[in-house]
Structure 1
Amino acid sequence: MSFIGQLLERPQGDLTPTRVPFDDLDARTTGTLAVPGDDAYQALVSPWNLAVAVQPAAVLAARTAQDVVEAVRFAGEHGLLVTPQATGHGAISALVGQLLVTTKDLDECTVHPEGWARVGAGVKWIRVVEAAAPYGLAPLSGSITDVGIVGYTTGGGLGPMARTYGLAADRVRAFEVVTGDGVLRRVTPSEHPELYFGLRGGKGSLGIVTAVEFDLVHQPTFYGGSLWFDGEDAAAVIARWREWCARLPEEATTSFALFRLPNGPDTPPQLAGRLTLSIRYVWTGDPAEGARRFAPMRAAAPVLLDDVAHKPFTAIDSVHTDPLDPMPVREAAAVLTDFPAQAAAALLDATGPGSDSPQLLVEIRQMGGATARGGAHEAAFSSRSAAYCLLTVGLDEPDVTAHATEVLVALAPWIGGPRMPNFTFDADDLVHAFDARALARIRAAIRSYDPDGVMAIGRALA
């Protein structure tokens, strides 16, 4: 039986406030506890992706790590599944247990000038980016700094400097986590090493992280941004990109995306209401060398908009130009073993000029470099051998999911290897984000630290 089936089998009558004494949990904690019908409930449960239904029997907005401890113990006492949520960027409906614990109020943020940071589970990357900038330091943040640090990092964390510095998970010094047995633990390479392994790539399967400490990199500036072309030139530009990025050293991280941006005040007029192609680029070395390396892409076709320049690291969001405001979207993704000319042609047939693609974004990211090598300590993230990754994002409309499936079918000859946890959008697919060895280690850790199966995400892997 699928994980979704297992979840639906649980007796729903036991989840009402009259059958489960949520008032007791409220008395044991300092945070806000809400059930359906309470004024605070909807604001506390709503994820970033408005298309994802998040409707637990109760939600606790934890203010302290001890609140999380009490919530997990309460769930264990009453046979409930518990799920963490901070920003809600990675929410999956079927992985939402009967008790949701939001960690957005765990907001400590300290940057140490010698090169590391400690943050609470509710902190977004933008706070660390801004706090680290005066010291010439930068975190391995995501494609948009509005994303929460913990969810992104526990899923691996593939960011715009990944080929130079690796994954965000590779830089973690320590976690503080409440495991399924209701114990708050400090986790390092030498303290609970199996948790340290599993938390770096295993998402929330092993507990609710309350704080994380990680190394920063010296990167006061970068050379990069986004370069935009007309969609009619996509075939020529992508052909140039394929040849060009194959020769790039690890100082460069790049991707391209086909966009169908709506008309609106926030969309540059030369990009609105049409198919466009964005080449994203980050060069972490000497800016003059970065400009020289990028010159072939500027000559690929007539340019609509050129935002590639020497910038402070605080401008890192200009690379991927991801949306900030919550949206109702459907996403699909895969990792690719290669991206030859035939794959590019298949992608363009499905999503390029002349297609009826409903996708807002279709993205190919180059991987490799430091991402492939990994950090000093082995992690559960299992997609290191991937050469590229594919992502589609469309508004929540009837034909979007079916079309995304068509894209995946078209690219099927080049899809292979474990999925990336942060690009997994279905509960039953999460098990496919790990190779056999990593999955066995995660399952063993679940048995040790969550013997009663309290963590909903862990149930998806058990």
Structure 2
Amino acid sequence: MSGDVDALTAEVRGPVLLPGSGEYDEERAGFQAGFRHRPALVVGATRPEDVRAAVRFAAERSMPVAVQSTGHGIVTALNGEGLLITTRRMKAVTVDADAATVTAQAGVLWGNVVEQTAPHGLAPANGSALHIGVVGYLLGGGVGLLGRRTGYASDHVRALDIVTADGQLRHVTAGSDPDLFWALRGGGGNFGVVTAVETALMPVTRLYGGALHFAADRPLDLLHAYRTWTSTLPEELTSSICLMTCPPWADVPKPLHGRYAAHIRIAFTGPTDEGERLVAPLRALGPRLVDTVRDMPYTQVGTIYRDPQTPHAYFGNNVLLRELDPTALRTVVDVAGPDAPVPCSVEIRHLGGAFTRRHPGRGAVGARQAAYMLRVTTGGTATPSTSARPVHQKVYDALKPWTVGRSLNSVYNDGAPVPEEQVRELFAAEDFERLRRVKTLHDPHNLFRFTHNVRPKGVS
């Protein structure tokens, strides 16, 4: 293949790397340290033309293609086969303040977007972590920081540029290709390599937000209190609670190191005095180890969750729940709480509000009737997924009576192919069949299968 690789190298501006070359390991590395792609070939794209050349090269040789920006959401890892396209060098951001939109290339992080939109008094529908890539987040739906007010982030997408399996670069909008446009907003990376995305912005400049940290000596009491509190909230307040033993990492406040604690995160777009009133019942729960809730400019929203920025191993999954049953919460604590056989982080995100409304430009995101998302993860340790998964599954089994689906962006796999029955859980039945029709049209040979794969018809 060396002669062919030389021809590809001459065609693209970015690096083209084979295993054993000096930069190969650095190029394939990502945030997920538990497993990584080990492709037969890596192309570091710098522009859409590089992506087109790489996809054509792979298609001509029936090589599967995987895509990586930051490497947070690797689903199925290339293992000695296929071609990996890295997009981290594609960093252009264009803000149209008059239209209240931003266009971001495939390597752009949410922090880049927030930084460039804030001077215009605008903000994107980003998530809690600003070091996450824009494109992958939007392809998975996006449970946003202000989601109870704004709905799923993917519903705000206006256009996408994508290289499909035939090597063509397409500008996809609701008018140009309604089915592909629908599928790309929540259907994951099944349909090609997105090189840029245009999404709407919101007139948000500040919020009342931050985090309350409590010693979780009585975790069940805290979960019950959170459930009761969220039943009273306006849509302008989006929140979550996380229970875990806090690692001694630099991005974790020192008072939390080694402690089993509850971390309640707040993002409220209303007035500060109203935010103080709404948060008061939480502050009354007991002494706080850390309290960072305050009025802040939108540029500081990355401090609310303080998501870890150091690459590490992690495994996990989630369920979307129509309600948070108080009796099931006891099982959650008993199975995945402080006495769990493997370290677990249990996070509950409050949905409802705009998440549940049928957006006129709705994408493929399913289970919109969910009121909460519950996610269990194990990370930051050497615990193998084979030990963690059975513990996590006991939680999900206990929650089955209230489960309506799963969120694609919060499925953290262990690198193995995802069974089709698990992919189907991510979508409504009719939406899955529609996704399959779109996949069959645009990727009939399943070139882009190293994802939450929706197999085209006729491919086993």
The TM-score with structure 2 as length reference comes to: 0.92
What's the offset of the Cα at 1:403?
2.2
**2:134 is the alignment partner of 1:134:** no
Instruction: Give the alignment partner of residue 90 of structure 1, picking from 69, 73, 77.
Output: 73
Pairing partner for 2:38 from 52, 55, 75: 55
Alignment-mate amino acid for residue 35 of structure 2? V
Give matches, 1:5-404, under 5 Å: 17=1, 21-94=4-77, 98-114=82-98, 115-353=100-338, 355-359=339-343, 361-395=345-379, 396-398=382-384, 399-404=387-392
Equivalent-residue separation in structure 2 for 1:137 and 1:290 (angstroms): 21
Structure 2 CA distance for aligned equivalents of residues 46 and 324 of structure 1: 14
Q: CA RMSD in A?
A: 1.8
Q: Is residue 412 of structure 1 aligned with residue 395 of structure 2?
A: no
Give the counterpart letter for 2:429 in structure 1.
Answer: A
The Cα of 1:94 is off from its aligned counterpart by: 4.3
Q: Which residue of 1 aligns with 2:410?
A: 423
Write the distance in 1 (CA, Å) between the matches of 2:439 and 2:446. 8
Letter in 2 for 1:397: T
SS of residue paired to 1:392: strand
Q: Deviations over 1:208-242 (max 9, x none)?
A: 00000111111110111110111113222221211
Check conservation: 1:257, 1:363, Cα contact below 8 A: yes
- SS state at 1:433 partner: coil
Please give the secondary structure, in 2, of the residue aligned with 1:176: strand
CA contact (8 A) 1:181 1:451 kept: no
Change beyond 3 A, Cα 1:245–1:343: same
Alpha-carbon distance in structure 2 between the residues aligned to 1:446 and 1:264: 42
SS of the residue corresponding to residue 373 of structure 1 reads coil
How many residues get paired?
443
User: How far does residue 273 in structure 1 lie from its aligned partner after superposition?
Assistant: 0.8
**In structure 1, what is the Cα distance between the partners aligned to 2:437 and 2:247?**
48
Name the structure 1 match of 2:433.
440
Question: Helix, strand or coil: the match of 1:93?
Answer: coil
TM-score between the two structures when normalised by the length of structure 1? 0.92
- What is the rounded CA distance, in whole Å, between the counterparts of 2:429 and 2:249 in structure 1? 47
Matched residue type, 2:327: Q
Distance 1:142 1:459 in 2: 21
1:11 is matched with none
Aligned equivalents of 2:432 and 2:439: distance in 1?
Answer: 10
Unaligned runs of 5+ in 1: 1-16
Partner of 1:12 in structure 2?
none
Distance change in 2, residues 1:240/1:132 (3 Å): same
- Give the conservation status (yes or no) of the 8 Å contact 2:161–2:170: yes
Shift of 1:95: 6.5
Kept in 1, the 8 Å contact 2:336–2:391? The answer is no
* Equivalent-residue separation in structure 2 for 1:145 and 1:404 (angstroms): 27
Shift of 1:172: 0.5
Partner of 1:8: none
Give CA deviations for 1:140-192 in whole Å, capped at 9, x if unaligned.
11110000000000000102110011111011110000011211000111011
Work out whether residues 75 and 451 of structure 2, in 8 Å CA contact, stay in contact via their aligned partners in 1.
no
**Quick one: percent identity of the two aligned structures?**
36
Partner AA of 1:111 in structure 2:
V
Residue 130 (structure 1) shift: 0.9
User: Aligned partners of 2:6 and 2:73: how far apart in 1?
Assistant: 29
In the aligned structure 2, how far is the partner of 1:299 from the partner of 1:214? 40
Q: Secondary structure at the match of 2:244?
A: strand
Shift of 1:104: 1.0
Q: What is the rounded CA distance, in whole Å, between the counterparts of 1:295 and 1:54 in structure 2?
A: 47
Q: What amino acid maps onto 1:333 in structure 2?
A: N
Post-superposition shift, 1:23?
2.5
**Residues 324 and 89 (structure 1 numbering): CA distance in 2 closer, same or farther, change over 3 Å?**
same
Measured in 1, the distance between the counterparts of 2:327 and 2:444 equals: 48
Q: Is the 8 A contact 1:163 1:369 kept in 2?
A: yes
Conservation of the 8 A alpha-carbon contact between 1:63 and 1:106: yes
Would you say the 8 A contact 2:75–2:452 is kept in 1?
no
Task: Give the gaps of 5 or more residues in structure 2.
Answer: 456-460
- 1:181–1:452 CA contact under 8 A, matched in 2: no
2:442 equivalent to 1:449: yes
Q: Deviations over 1:83-126 (max 9, x none)?
A: 11111110023467601111111111112222210110000000
Asked if structure 2 preserves the Cα contact closer than 8 Å seen for 1:167 and 1:374, the reply is no
- 3-state SS in 2 of match to 1:36: coil
Shift in CA distance, 268/378, structure 1 to aligned 2, threshold 3 Å: closer
Given that residues 140 and 168 in structure 1 are in contact (C-alpha distance below 8 angstroms), is that contact kept between their aligned partners in structure 2?
A: yes
Report the Cα distance in structure 1 between the residues aligned to 2:302 and 2:452, rounded to whole angstroms: 35
Change (3 A) 1:410 1:222: same
The worse-fitting range, judged by mean Cα deviation, of 143-152 and 39-48 is 39-48
Q: State how far apart, in whole Å, the 2-side matches of 1:302 and 1:75 are.
A: 58
Further displaced range: 95-104 or 328-337? 95-104
